[in-house]
Amino acid sequence: MNSFATRLLLWFDDFGRKDLPWQQNVTVYRVWVSEIMLQQTQVQTVIPYFNRFVERFPDIASLAVAPQDDVLSHWSGLGYYARARNLHTAAQRIHDDHDGRFPASVEDVIDLPGIGRSTAGAILSLAHGQRHAILDGNVKRVLARHEAIAGWPGKTRVADELWRVAEQNTPHKRASDYTQAVMDLGATLCTRSKPSCNRCPVRNDCAALRSNSIDDYPGRKPKLSKPLRTTTMILASADGQVYLERRPEAGIWGGLWSLPELGEQSLSDWCVDVLGSVATETLPWGVLRHSFSHYDLDIQPILVRIESQAGKVADADARIWHRLNDAPPGGMAVPVKKLINQLKKSENVAHH
């Protein structure tokens, strides 16, 4: 019986993906950026973001010296913004601690923010041909099915078993091609639903296929019902401008520009305290629901018209009046962008 790796490599030579943007002019930097973007995001979604990002930040040095707003605005819409902040911090650390060169040892790579064992292995394997096992979501699915490894991969016992098999299957020759091949197999054939088992190069000894239990692997995460949170966001509008605040670094949408949220205060108190002004009109809009992986958020937007923004907004780093016709000042979360676009439309109607 041909080894798992041999069959996979033969398949990869004919059917593997070789024309992805980060597979052209391969550098460790390009591979690293792509691996971070591909965490929890599909290839097709990533491609345009990747192209824009590396055009603006072509190397570690340009990323390290860029303002965080610039980095986040090139990530806007891709979600999981901690990835962008970690990428930026890691670039600065490489710049300062590693003479601007991406480290070549797996320990040093894991030491960088936002990089775990699998991502580190993938980067060094794809960029430098080093032999490291990887275990991203696609690979977990392939191995769990092939070896019938039961249970949710988030459990230590299950993860340890998957790592053992991943190590065992990773060949000493063509490690880089194997790494790409096993990811491609999961992404293109061994998909979550309706896998193409008849075209799979390792189907002959796939335990899940043999026992007709493909759908049982990998084990599902125990279902918890998603909590629902609510918040009120204020669209304070004056002179074709909207008031924005930068969110704190920690927590959701960290470092992004956002509409302010109304806490315990009354709306009129908030207007006087924050804007030093009184509202001439307030109008609640329909609730907007935004789903995160761990909870749903219901946003109640309230449009607040202010006579003029002559109020006391001094700290330009954290609070600004933003012209609706200008480009965003930095990264913005999807629901915030939606609300601002809605405001643009309603303002045009009001003024013309």
Question: What residues are labeled active site?
Answer: 35
DSSP label of 229: E
Helix (H) or strand (E) holding 296: strand 296-306
Cα–Cα distance between 304 and 321 in angstroms, integer?
14
**Distance in angstroms (rounded) separating the CA atoms of residues 254 and 250:** 5
| Angle at the Cα of 267 from the Cα atoms of 340 and 291, rounded to 5 degrees | 45
Contacts of residue 75, defined as CB under 8 A and 6 or more positions apart, other chains included, come to 49, 53, 81, 83, 84, 331
3-state helix, strand, coil in the chain (%, to 5): 45, 15, 40
134 contact partners, CB below 8 Å, separation of at least 6: 118, 121, 122, 125, 166, 179, 182, 183
* Per-residue DSSP letter, 112: S
Say if residue 67 is preceded by a cis peptide, omega within 30 of 0.
Answer: no
Residues 6+ positions from 72 with CB-CB distance below 8 Å: 81, 84, 85, 255, 256, 330, 331
**Nearest 10 degrees: Cα torsion 7, 123, 23, 334:** 120
State the Rg of the chain over Cα.
24
H helix runs in the chain, sequence order: 4-15, 28-37, 43-56, 60-65, 68-73, 82-97, 106-110, 117-128, 137-146, 156-169, 175-188, 207-210, 267-270, 334-351
Minimal CA–CA distance to 137: which of 45, 217, 202? 217
